Amino acid sequence: MSIPTPHIKAKPEDFAPTVLMPGDPLRSKFIAETFLEDAVLVNNVRGVQGYTGTYKGKKVSVMASGMGMPSMGIYSYELFNFFGVENIIRIGSAGALHADIPLRSLVIGMSTSYNSTFAGQYQLPGIYAPTASFKLLRSAVDTAEKLGMDYRVGNILSNDLFYDDGNRGLEWQKMGVLAVEMEAAALYMNAARAGKNALAICTISDNIVTGEECTAEERQNSFTQMMELALTIA
């Protein structure tokens, strides 16, 4: 495939080695305007905004992934394989599967369960276990600890369905899965296949057990701890 791709109108040098990927393009814009110096819009195909600037003197990019594994699969694949990106850190929202995980706390995905057929493309003779890159995971945990953040580390569920005609993944609770989101498994698999690094840092936007939830505006603009954590380890 040639560059620019059908989804990213940029040059490889437009991106930093590390890209932060929120799902929401407006969250990408918020991060660029709030945290980055000299941020430049490097992609806006289909409104999927990507910016590159500096954070405390370090070059960093942020670009939206869109919702769901198919969308994350496209953008992370192209960044890893065509644009020379080495690290992608997903920063998004997740729904807690346990009553004692509070709103706005952080869940760092050590590994992901999933109900997707995404791994079928690899024709593996078994079931693949998507796992975060240890160097990013260790750095995130050490930094969160140092900064006194409320965080948990463990398995998360990447669910293909938001409206699933059921109980939104609560079956996974008994296996210790912490929270449910929609993108991390595809990111981890693309990173593994490309020999690159990936991590998902999620803010709890709702609790599926208690029914508590944040507003759409709060999801877009107030989940700053995960943004600062990701920027610090980028």
Predicted confidence (pLDDT) per residue in 133-167, tens digit: 999 999 999 999 999 999 999 999 999 988 877 76
For 197, residues 6+ apart whose C-beta sits below 8 A from its C-beta are 86, 87, 88, 133, 135, 136, 191
Question: 12-233: what fold?
Answer: Rossmann fold (3.40.50)
Which residues participate in catalysis according to the annotation? 206
- As a whole number of angstroms, the distance between CA 105 and CA 170 comes to 19
HSE of 45, CA atoms in CB hemisphere, 13 A: 11
Are 43 and 9 in contact by the 8 Å Cβ rule? The answer is yes
Distances (CA, A) of 14 to 42, 79, 135: 6, 11, 24
Query: Are residues 97 and 170 in contact, defined by beta-carbon separation less than 8 angstroms?
Result: yes
Residue 221 has pLDDT above 70, yes or no: no
- Nearest CA among 13, 57, 9, 51 for reference residue 32: 51
Helix (H, G, I), strand (E, B) or coil at 5: coil
184 close to 131: Cβ distance less than 8 angstroms: no
User: Quick check: 191 pLDDT over 90?
Assistant: yes
User: Which of the residue ranges 9-13, 200-204, 211-215, 228-232 would you say has the lowest mean pLDDT?
Assistant: 9-13
Q: What digits encode the pLDDT tens for the residues 4-53?
A: 888 988 888 999 999 999 999 999 999 999 999 999 999 988 878 999 99
Q: What is the DSSP string of 37-72?
A: EEEEEEE-GGG--EEEEEETTEEEEEE---SSHHHH
CB burial of residue 197 (10 Å; 0-12, 13-18, 19+)? buried
Tens digits of residue pLDDT in 66-77: 999 999 999 999
What pLDDT was estimated at residue 168? Answer: 65
Question: What are the extents of the domains in the chain?
Answer: 12-233
